[in-house]
Amino acid sequence: MNNPLLQNFNTKYVTAPFSKIKNKHFKPAFEKGIQLAKAEIDQIANNKEIPTFENTLVALEFTGDKLDRISSIFFNLNSAETNDEIQKIAQQVSPLLSDFANDIRLNEKLFSKIKSINDSKDNLDLNAEQKMLLDKNYKSFVRNGANLNKVDKEKLRKIDKGLSKLSLQFGENVLAETNAFELHITDKKQLKGLPDGTIEAAKILAKEKQKDGWIFTLDYPSYVPFMTYAENRTLRKKMAKAFGAKAFQNNKFDNQKIVLNIITLRHQRANLLGYKTHAHFVLEERMAETPAKVNSFLKDLMVKAKPAAEKEFSNALDIAKKDGVENIQKWDGTYYSEKLKKELFDLDDEQLKPYFKLENVIDGVFTIAGKLYDLKFEEIFDIDKYHNDVKTYKVTNNKGDFIAIFYADFFPRKGKRNGAWMTSYKDQWKKDGENSRPHISIVCNFTKPTETKPSLLTFNEVTTLFHEFGHALHGMLANTTYPSLSGTHVYWDFVELPSQIFENWCYEKEALNLFARHYQTNEIIPMELVQKIKDSSNFLEGMATMRQLSFGLLDMAWHAGESPETIKSIKEFELKAFADTQLYPDVKENCMSTSFSHIFQGGYSAGYYSYKWAEVLDADAFEAFQKKGIFDKETATKFRENILSQGGTQKPMELYKNFRGKEPSIDALLKRAGLI
């Protein structure tokens, strides 16, 4: 078979040739890619020369590049453009990749070479990046079983293979449950309160499904406006219950056993490697360091946020009582919060949306990136993409140097999981005098254009786009030698700093004036609306903080507990974890854990606290911009050179202090959130 995945990509900018790649190519490509990578590893392990940094660590760093490209293409498609066949292939190749990873980490000859280099590191003249590469590799081997005996190594292999399959199955079940639900409305009266654009989108969806009336789904652009504006409380309840019951319905897509199996295997793995819990294992390589420190951080924030959250909840209840609702339920929260916002600030998303046409917001992030980091974005049409919705851009600097390829995929569809994320199709690295540039992608689920309106974003969608673009800048501006230290390859509780700091520009008049224009009149957003955005920026911040803290505490409860095998009921366990943060009455048919993809499918296990942790960093870091002006070149250059371009070449706190001149202060976050 002529397999495009196994050939050199003779494409412009060496981009993935999506149009030539068929599903049948993936499994053979993985098998051959693993075979090629194994041969490269064997060559390093069997090298008779004395182990050196160059012939061992650098050589290891650049093995398996073909396999890496195949993996990035396949698993990105499995998230953004999947189907039954791709999901089946994922289940087949994941155990192969798990075995391959263990073949490397449990290779005794290879580890002995790395250990000998590590033992003599004080006598080597290594720079900071080289030291980090050595340290990262040595720890990776030790933390993944290199010092285990043969019996325990086999146990580890079995556990890793099981975990790789379970996390895939978890994600497939969540996607299947999301796709399975639809609210089909045929009575126009039941649409009362919904914005015209939302109604039109629901009409188009019904038409696509060859049905009369209107269809609403659990995809965010459909679900969120319905829960925010629909006056029909019974239908809001139906939607909310469906959303909260994903993979918790005792059907073939149920994730309850899968959650317990994942938790148990992670705990067994940690114990096997000499750690008390999975959280102890994970946090050893995080800024936070220990579960005790994470829980202390989360609980300290909770003490400060809870009084504000309870007051905000009470204010929302007062609004609800005017409608005769005596107790706010989960399906009332967003609806009455929006009414409260309207009453307090005379502001709602429908007023703002006309100023946030998607194309204008895209131009806005590009313009802001240009002013800060001298970047230029040119849409190009001569490289392959995996779906017609995807936009492709060539990124250069103001000297015309090629910086990156950027893919942007904005709209929901059946084969795409919910949410928003940034990813990479190719990392940046330097070798043989070449600085090989990255291919970066962001994937979102925004409101689609309709027959009468372009894609108009809610303000929350605007901040989401800025957030993911902040991650993309971290990837695009990478400038390191080694791919495993490049871009977003940093400690997990540091990776959110570039994304979260970039959201701050959404609230600044100077930035909004660059792109927030009415889609019909081209009028710049009025100053009074900008002021309302600023005034409402920490609206319900107490409740929002409690929500984030509840997710972080649930994550820690799952991963810092010492006896997961004793947990019988996921629901009861979850309620106990939520006890201190719960504001709304519980819904017995709902469960968060069974669709908590961040921790059971993504990389956030024992790491969900990172969002709040990084908020401390971003609030403190943005103060530096505010002092000198949000487009101050000197501050932007310092941020690019010390944070964005450095990847994981130094410990995060050192990078942060290089930029800021000091450690971050939590006060900046509390002040911004209105909690002090």
Catalytic residue from among 81, 172, 350, 468: 468
Dihedral class, residue 604 (left if φ above 0, else alpha if ψ from -120 to 50, else beta): alpha
Residues 6+ apart with CB under 8 A from 103: 38, 41
Q: What type of residue sits at position 377? A: F
446 and 221 Cβ atoms separated by less than 8 Å: yes
CA atoms of 606 and 46, how far apart (whole Å)? 37
* Residue 303: other Cβ atoms inside 10 A: 9
Q: Radius of gyration (Cα) for the chain, nearest Å?
A: 25
Rounded CA separation 535/529 (Å):
10
243, amino acid identity: F
Which residue, among 71, 87, 73, 72, has the nearest Cα to 33 in the 3D structure? 71
Beta carbons of 515 and 360 less than 8 angstroms apart: yes
Q: Kindly give, in sequence order, each residue whose CB lies less than 8 Å from that of residue 445, ignoring residues fewer than 6 positions away.
A: 219, 220, 221, 410, 411, 412, 416, 418, 419, 420
Q: Tell me how far apart the alpha carbons of residues 261 and 165 are, in angstroms, rounded to a whole number.
A: 11
Residue 636: in which H helix or E strand, if any? helix 633-639
Eight-state DSSP code of residue 434: E
Angstrom distance (rounded) from CA 494 to CA 635: 19
Structure tokens at 19: 């149009």
* One-letter identity of residue 115: K
Tokens (6 digits) for 282: 């994970």
Q: Which residues are within 8 A (CB) of 165 and not within 5 positions of it... i.e. 6 or more apart?
A: 91, 94, 95
Cβ distance 562 to 276 under 8 Å?
A: yes
In 245-392, where does DSSP find H-type helix? 256-272, 278-283, 291-321, 330-345, 349-352, 358-373
Cα torsion 4, 8, 11, 13: sign? positive
- What is the DSSP annotation of 441-504? EEE--PPPP-SS---B--HHHHHHHHHHHHHHHHHHT---SSGGGSTT-S-TTTTTHHHHHHHG
Residues 649, 485: contact at Cβ < 8 Å?
yes
Token pair 């040739």 is found at 17
Residue spans of alpha helices (H) in 522-632: 527-535, 541-560, 570-578, 597-600, 610-628
Closest by CA to 30, choosing from 87, 74, 78, is: 74
How would you classify the pairing of strands 439-443 and 391-397?
unpaired
**Is residue 637 within 8 Å of 477, Cβ to Cβ?**
no
The question of whether 510 is a catalytic residue gets the answer: no
C-alpha span between 364 and 358 (Å, rounded) = 10
Check if the beta carbon of residue 396 is closer than 8 Å to that of residue 378.
yes
**Alpha carbon of 465 to those of 159, 410, 469, 534: distances in Å?**
37, 9, 6, 18
- The residues annotated with a catalytic role in the active site are 468
